[in-house]
Amino acid sequence: MPVRSPPAVLPLLLAILAGSLLPVQFAVNGALAGQLHSVTLTAAVSYAAGTAGLALLLLLSRSRPDWAAARHAPRWVWLGGVVGSAYVVGSVLLTRALGAALATTLVIAAQVVTAILLDHLGVLGLERRPVNRARATALVLVLAALGVRLWGAA
């Protein structure tokens, strides 16, 4: 099949690859939690490896972060990791309880619902985007997906 716009294909494949890494991470961290018998230690180890990888990447890239500007930003912008750790802990608990497949469905659904809610409220420096017909339809689709999945798993 001829490809219309070759330049867009590689980034598209990279984005799909990026997404496929998340269930792999769920499975790997789930296995680690089974070995360590501790969700917090699992999350700490996962974050440590990720921090090392990102630090290396940052050194190799030409990116020059403006650390001085960050001092004048509101304090809360530094606390994303506190919120993010709820995601790591949550995904480990879910994968242990349900396996990577069902855990991924639940996380995507919860993520979409939360994102729509945060946009609707316009909190955390996000632009306020009230729920409209498209967003309401998306919510219904997500709830239908959950219903089908849970009914199938029961």
Partner 1 sequence: MSLAVLLGTLGAGVGLAAGLAFSVRLSGVLSSPLAATLVNFLVGGVLMAALWTLGLDGARPTQPPPGWMLTGGLLGAAYVTLSLVGAARLGVGVSTVAVTLGQLLGALVIPALGWLGQTRQLPSASGLISAALLAAAVALLASERQKVAARPAAGLPDGQTG
Closest CA to 92 of 106, 78, 82, 111: 106
Number of residues that bind partner 1 (CB under 8 A): 116
Site for partner 1 contains 120 (CB under 8 A): no
Greatest CA span in the chain, whole angstroms? 53
Query: Which residue in the set 121, 128, 131, 150 belongs to the binding site for partner 1 (CB under 8 A)?
Result: 150
At its nearest, how many Å lie between partner 1 and the CB of residue 2?
A: 20
Query: Which residue in the set 3, 5, 6, 37 belongs to the binding site for partner 1 (CB under 8 A)?
Result: 37
How far CA 7 is from CA of 3, 4, 19, 90, 134, in Å, comes to 10, 9, 20, 37, 30
Site for partner 1 contains 15 (CB under 8 A): yes
CA 86 to CA 84: how far, in whole Å?
Answer: 5
The residue (of 2 and 93) whose beta carbon lies closer to partner 1 is: 93
| Residue 102 structure tokens | 């069902």
Cβ contacts of 122 within 8 Å, gap of 6 or more: 128, 129
Site for partner 1 contains 78 (CB under 8 A): yes
At its nearest, how many Å lie between partner 1 and the CB of residue 3?
A: 15
Query: Which residue in the set 4, 5, 75, 125 belongs to the binding site for partner 1 (CB under 8 A)?
Result: 125
